C-alpha cells in the first residue's frame, strides 16, 4: 500500500537537502555544463522485479534529448559510482 499524500509531501520536504546534495554530486560526476539542468527524485516502484524505491536523475542537456538515469536505491544511498553506472547504461 502506498503512503498518503501528506506522508509523501513530508518525506519530500525532509529529503530536499539530500536531493540537493545528490544533484550537486551528479553535476560534478557527469561534468555538466552550466546550461545543463537536472532533477533528482525518489519514486516508489510497484512493478514486479523493481526495487521498492528508486532514484531517478533526469538530465536535460543543452541540444540533446532528455535522459533518465534510474538507480535502484533511495536518494541517500546513491554513490558516485552508481551515477556513472546509470549514465553508462542509460539510453542515449
Residue range 31-41, pLDDT digits in tens? 999 999 999 99
pTM, rounded to two decimals? 0.81
Of 45, 57, 61, which Cα lies nearest the Cα of 82? 57
Residues in the chain: 92
**pLDDT score recorded for residue 40:** 96
Q: Which residues contact 31 (CB under 8 A, 6 or more apart)?
A: none
Average pLDDT rounded to a whole number, residues 44-48: 77
pLDDT of residue 92: 59
Amino acid at each position: 500500500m502506498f503512503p498518503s499524500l501528506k506522508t509523501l509531501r513530508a518525506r519530500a520536504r525532509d529529503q530536499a537537502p539530500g536531493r540537493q546534495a545528490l544533484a550537486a554530486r551528479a553535476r560534478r560526476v557527469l561534468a555538466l555544463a552550466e546550461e545543463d539542468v537536472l532533477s533528482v527524485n525518489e519514486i516508489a516502484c510497484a512493478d514486479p522485479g523493481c526495487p521498492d524505491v528508486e532514484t531517478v536523475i533526469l538530465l536535460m542537456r543543452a541540444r540533446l534529448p532528455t535522459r533518465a538515469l534510474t538507480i535502484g536505491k533511495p536518494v541517500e544511498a546513491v554513490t558516485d559510482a552508481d551515477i556513472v553506472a546509470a549514465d553508462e547504461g542509460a539510453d542515449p
